[in-house]
Amino acid sequence: MSSSKPTPAAWTIENFLEVKNGQLHIDGVSAIDLGRKFATPLFVFSEARIKQNIERLKKAERVIGCPLKICYAAKANSNMAILRTVKEAGSDLEVNSGGELFKALKIGFKPEQIIFNGTSKTEAELESAINAGIYAIQSDSLYEIELTEKVARRLNKKANVSLRLVPEIETNTHSGLQTALLTSKFGMMPDEALSAFRRWHDAEFLNLCGIHLHIGSQTPDAEPYTEAFKTLFENLVKIYEETNLKLSHINLGGGFPVNYLRDEAQAADFPHAQQELFSATLEPSDVLQKAWRGVKEVAENAGAAHLLENITLLLEPGRSVIADAGICLTTVCNRKERPLQNPKIDLTESKIQSPKSKIQSDVWLLTDAGFNILLSMETYKWYYQLISAERADEAHDFPYKLAGPLCDGGDVYFDIEGQNRLPDYRQLPENVQPNEILVLLNCGAYSIAQMFQYNGRQLPAIVLIKETGEVKLIRKRDTFEDLLTNDLF
Ligand SMILES: *Cc1c(COP(=O)(O)O)cnc(C)c1O
């Protein structure tokens, strides 16, 4: 028997993002109802999805031969209710500042669940971390290890320290998201790390217990992880040979990608060089299985397998936990028409016919969601798929110029100045008018964590849909008074 049901759009995710009566529903709740009730722009998160994403990462433990410690990267999104959800899902936490450490302890992470990264930790931050007794302070330089020892000595407490390496591993991600190259600002060279282990392996106030690296964000393929894991292991062996020290953990960082471009129908007019990056799909357990096998082989050949025996593997996923668990509702506030722009795109590169063939003039839609709440759209020209929440089942094939509300020419959702990162047009159903509610997908990571009140814009409300179906306000919208909070006048 053939079903008459139309195939769902490629961006839908069963039991999470679905279309009912033409409207987008998230965890069964109508996005339109949420937009009307809480006003837009509005971020909506799914507790169930966050938990599934963490489960997916945890699954990797079954395919490797050691315990896995997942430390969610707080910088991706550190709203307190989100941190609580992550904690309840059984994840530990990676923090990057005294502020994030404060939030972590406040929401109830235990010290042994917390690791602390950062290039510029202050004495006060180190003091809080040592006093709390966290799992590892991840040192970024020889200078910082000295500083950590000084603070630990003053407090008469031993500090757990792991060393961040910069191993010269290149990935295919956006250049601003590469972090394991000598041209990046992070970490220390393996030789420096080795000298640190020689100097401090039996220090009274330092417990050098691990090594760490983070190759970058939205890493589209598995090889750099295998390479990174091997690098960590080679260093582990050297450290053992020179100091007899067996490390208790190695930390492979974060960077698992999210597929921002699942809907290829929306990829028309999309710069090809960016397609691979935005449509990356890696299964963390496959990546780790490969990496583990590679390292095990090296270990066995070198007669060093015993060094893997009591080791814990740490991961620091941010994006892969929270990006697709959050969406942003925005309302069209204005519409205008302009003569067609000169085509900049190279049609020979595009397999799909240019959407321009359909239109006589450029239709502009101005929304209420600017780069002050989605900064990556400006800094990295990041792509977030846009759909009509009210007409989610209609064909999204009419090209529009989309822009946010800010008094800033860079506040647009398309490619400017030939940077070729974003499509020239965004596709939505025909005849979108003011007041229609649109939704940006995959907005959970590096969005609300980076928002600011540029142009006197009130920061948006955030809701979390609980597994019970309850819709919980987890951040209230700023009032005008909030715009004055810290000004003295
Ligand atoms: C940003 C960051 C992460 C998280 O990266 P994602 O790409 O969001 O997974 C992990 N570790 C460190 C050190 C980072 O700077």
User: How much is the pTM?
Assistant: 0.95
Q: What is the dihedral of CA 67, 78, 325, 285, to 10 degrees?
A: -20
Q: Which residues pair with 43 in a beta bridge?
A: 328, 462
Task: Please tell me the distance between residue 75's alpha carbon and the centre of ligand 1 in angstroms.
Answer: 8
Question: What is the tens place of the pLDDT at every residue in 4-34?
Answer: 567 888 999 999 999 999 999 999 999 999 9
Strands 398-403 and 92-95, bridge-based pairing: unpaired
Mean pLDDT of all residues in the chain?
Answer: 92
| Domain boundary assignment for the chain | 17-46+325-484, 117-317
Find, among 268, 300, 328, 273, the residue nearest to 448 by Cα.
Answer: 328
Phi-psi region of 90 (alpha: psi -120 to 50; beta: other; left: phi over 0): left
- Written as six digits, the tokens of 70 are 């997942």
217 lines ligand 1 (CB under 6 A): yes
253 lines ligand 1 (CB under 6 A): yes
Q: Which atom of ligand 1 is nearest to the CA of 75?
A: 1
Quote the CA–CA distance of 42 and 318 in Å, as a whole number: 21
Q: Greater confidence, 431 or 271?
A: 431
Q: Which atom of ligand 1 is nearest to the CA of 76?
A: 8
Angle made by CA atoms 50, 437, 419, in degrees to the nearest 5:
75
Task: Please tell me the distance between residue 317's alpha carbon and the centre of ligand 1 in angstroms.
Answer: 6
Task: Please tell me the distance between residue 57's alpha carbon and the centre of ligand 1 in angstroms.
Answer: 14
CB 261 within 8 A of CB 267: yes
Find, among 157, 164, 110, the residue nearest to 137 by Cα.
Answer: 164
- Predicted confidence at residue 170, as pLDDT, reads 77
Kindly state the helix (H) or strand (E) to which residue 463 belongs, with its residue range: strand 461-465
Quote the CA–CA distance of 346 and 481 in Å, as a whole number: 49
Task: Please tell me the distance between residue 427's alpha carbon and the centre of ligand 1 in angstroms.
Answer: 31
CB 328 within 8 A of CB 439: yes
Q: Greater confidence, 484 or 273?
A: 484
Query: Stretch 455-484: mean pLDDT, rounded?
Result: 98
Question: What is the tens place of the pLDDT at every residue in 180-214?
Answer: 777 889 999 999 999 999 999 999 999 999 999 99
Which of 86, 174, 214, 315 maximizes ligand 1 atoms within 8 Å of its Cβ, making it the mutation to test the pocket? 214
CATH 2.40.37.10 fits 17-46+325-484, yes or no: yes
- Predicted confidence at residue 342, as pLDDT, reads 55
Sign (positive or negative) of CA dihedral 355, 358, 364, 369: negative
Which of 54, 94, 186, 442 maximizes ligand 1 atoms within 8 Å of its Cβ, making it the mutation to test the pocket? 94
Quote the CA–CA distance of 307 and 246 in Å, as a whole number: 7
Fold assignment, 117-317: TIM Barrel (3.20.20)
460 lines ligand 1 (CB under 6 A): no
117 lines ligand 1 (CB under 6 A): yes
Q: Which atom of ligand 1 is nearest to the CA of 217?
A: 7
372 lines ligand 1 (CB under 6 A): no
Q: What type of residue sits at position 358? A: K
Judge whether residue 144 has pLDDT over 60: yes
Find, among 288, 292, 259, 287, the residue nearest to 383 by Cα.
Answer: 259
Question: What is the tens place of the pLDDT at every residue in 341-394?
Answer: 755 444 444 444 455 566 789 999 999 999 999 999 998 889 999 999 999 999
Task: Please tell me the distance between residue 10's alpha carbon and the centre of ligand 1 in angstroms.
Answer: 28
Task: Please tell me the distance between residue 319's alpha carbon and the centre of ligand 1 in angstroms.
Answer: 8
67-95 in b/e form (b: 16+ CB < 10 A) is ebbbbbbbbbbbbebbbbbbbebebbbbb
Quote the CA–CA distance of 257 and 48 in Å, as a whole number: 19
Quote the CA–CA distance of 220 and 177 in Å, as a whole number: 12
161-181 in b/e form (b: 16+ CB < 10 A) is bbbbbbbebebebbeebbbbb
C-alpha to C-alpha distances, 11 to 64, 167, 203, 263, 388, nearest whole angstrom: 32, 37, 54, 5, 12
Judge whether residue 470 has pLDDT over 60: yes
- Residue 418 has φ and ψ, to the nearest 5°, of 60, 30
Q: Which atom of ligand 1 is nearest to the CA of 446?
A: 8
- Predicted confidence at residue 358, as pLDDT, reads 64
399 lines ligand 1 (CB under 6 A): no
Quote the CA–CA distance of 391 and 394 in Å, as a whole number: 6
- Residue 228 has φ and ψ, to the nearest 5°, of -65, -45
Determine what percent of the chain is predicted with pLDDT higher than 70.
95
Question: What is the tens place of the pLDDT at every residue in 256-308?
Answer: 999 999 888 777 677 777 888 899 999 999 999 999 999 999 999 989 999 99
- Predicted confidence at residue 488, as pLDDT, reads 97
Can you tell me which residue has the tokens 């290829």? 264
Q: Which atom of ligand 1 is nearest to the CA of 218?
A: 7
C-alpha to C-alpha distances, 78 to 111, 153, 189, nearest whole angstrom: 17, 31, 30
Judge whether residue 111 has pLDDT over 80: yes
Q: Which residues pair with 116 in a beta bridge?
A: 95, 137
318 lines ligand 1 (CB under 6 A): yes
Strands (E) across 28-153 are located at 29-30, 42-46, 68-73, 92-95, 114-116, 136-139
444 lines ligand 1 (CB under 6 A): no
Quote the CA–CA distance of 458 and 416 in Å, as a whole number: 26
Q: Greater confidence, 219 or 445?
A: 445
Q: What is the dihedral of CA 415, 19, 22, 261, to 10 degrees?
A: 20
Q: Which atom of ligand 1 is nearest to the CA of 257?
A: 7
140 lines ligand 1 (CB under 6 A): no
Judge whether residue 3 has pLDDT over 80: no
